């Protein structure tokens, strides 16, 4: 092996190391709000607990990649519903689930409030268009259960519509399951005190204030009404075909790990063998000359 080859090999190793460090930086960026916020409130938080958290998160995300490969190979269809209190950490666990996955296979659906046309449709109609095809996973960041929660508490639906929902939703979900869609439902539960702390954190953090909508603030005032609505919802829609699973979420990190671990246990996946990947040699042509990019098209190198 000559000197030029050794130099190129060392350069490639250095580049791989830089890529790895860059990936780790992304992890730290995601966790920054937890380290400065949640961990600061917990005197018991330590460097060793963070190391354990990251080790388990990376391991579980590796299993999620295997799950994704299995879903694609078998044509399995999965819908995962994430419901819970405002600021309960649903978005955080969704980020960690999707972080390593192909967005063409695993996609997140977070629908806004229905428009005037959608309000005249069959209630489940706008959700049906987002159901998975073969080899897809759909994560619903809130779902048709809006009717049993915010719509009921805020008076956005009538009593007749509310009762019709409870008559229809078990049959709707049974129909999905009969058609081969696996439906998994999670409720993220946090205490009154923890929600208060998280809301205060958002109020005083300019980077998080966008997360506080008027509905979120009103949900704080109507805590007990939301609790009653949740209890009725779980009681009336916890069916064998699609049971509810409750995630205790006062500790965000533990909630993420527990939810992902449980999710992996709900799907009978196994590792799919991949063929060895060989990077082909680049073709080079003597008559090809790369054109220079005009200076006025370049993004200024400020950093």
Q: How far apart are CA 11 and CA 9, in angstroms?
A: 5
- β-pairing, 77-84 vs 181-189, is parallel
pLDDT for 47 equals: 75
Mean pLDDT across 238-242:
97
The count of C-alpha atoms lying within 13 angstroms of the C-alpha of 127, restricted to the half-sphere facing its C-beta, is 22
Q: How far apart are CA 120 and CA 274, in angstroms?
A: 48
- Model confidence pLDDT, tens digit, residues 135-173: 999 999 999 999 999 999 999 999 999 999 999 999 999
Q: Residue 100 CB: number of other CB atoms within 10 A?
A: 15
Query: What strands, in cross-sheet order, belong to the sheet with 77-84?
Result: 106-109, 136-141, 77-84, 181-189, 244-248
pLDDT tops 70 at residue 128: yes
- Model confidence pLDDT, tens digit, residues 54-95: 999 999 999 999 999 999 999 999 999 999 998 999 999 999
Confidence of residue 133 (pLDDT cuts 50, 70, 90): very high
Phi, psi of 91 (to 5 degrees): -60, -35
Query: What separation in angstroms does the CA of 187 have from each of 8, 23, 285?
Result: 52, 30, 59
Q: How far apart are CA 226 and CA 230, in angstroms?
A: 6
pLDDT for 232 equals: 98
């Amino acid at each position: 092996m000559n000197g030029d080859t050794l130099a190129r090999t060392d350069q490639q190793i250095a580049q791989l190391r830089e890529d790895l460090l860059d990936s780790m930086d992304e992890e730290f960026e995601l966790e920054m709000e937890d380290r400065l916020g949640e961990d600061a409130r917990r005197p018991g938080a330590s460097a060793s607990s963070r190391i354990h958290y990251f080790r388990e998160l990376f391991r579980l995300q590796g299993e999620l990649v295997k799950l994704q490969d299995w879903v694609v190979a078998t044509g399995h269809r999965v819908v995962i519903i994430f419901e819970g209190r405002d600021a309960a950490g649903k978005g955080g666990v969704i980020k960690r689930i999707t972080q390593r996955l192909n967005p063409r296979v695993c996609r997140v659906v977070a629908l806004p409030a229905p428009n005037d046309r959608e309000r005249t449709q069959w209630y489940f109609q706008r959700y049906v268009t987002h159901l998975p095809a073969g080899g897809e996973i759909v994560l619903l960041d809130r779902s048709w259960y809006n009717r049993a929660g915010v719509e009921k508490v805020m008076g956005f639906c009538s009593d007749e519509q509310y009762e019709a929902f409870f008559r229809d939703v078990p049959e709707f979900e049974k129909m999905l399951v009969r058609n081969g869609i696996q439906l998994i439902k999670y409720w993220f539960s946090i205490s009154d005190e923890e929600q208060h702390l998280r809301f205060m954190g958002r109020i005083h953090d300019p980077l998080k204030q966008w997360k506080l909508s008027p509905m979120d603030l009103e949900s704080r005032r109507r805590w007990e009404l939301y609790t009653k609505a949740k209890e009725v919802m779980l009681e009336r829609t916890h069916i064998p075909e699609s049971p509810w699973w409750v995630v205790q979420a006062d500790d965000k990190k533990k909630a993420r790990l527990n939810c992902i671990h449980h999710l992996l246990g709900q799907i009978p996946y196994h590792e799919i063998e991949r063929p060895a990947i060989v990077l082909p040699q680049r073709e080079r042509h003597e008559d090809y000359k790369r054109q220079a990019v005009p200076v006025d098209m370049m993004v200024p190198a400020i950093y």
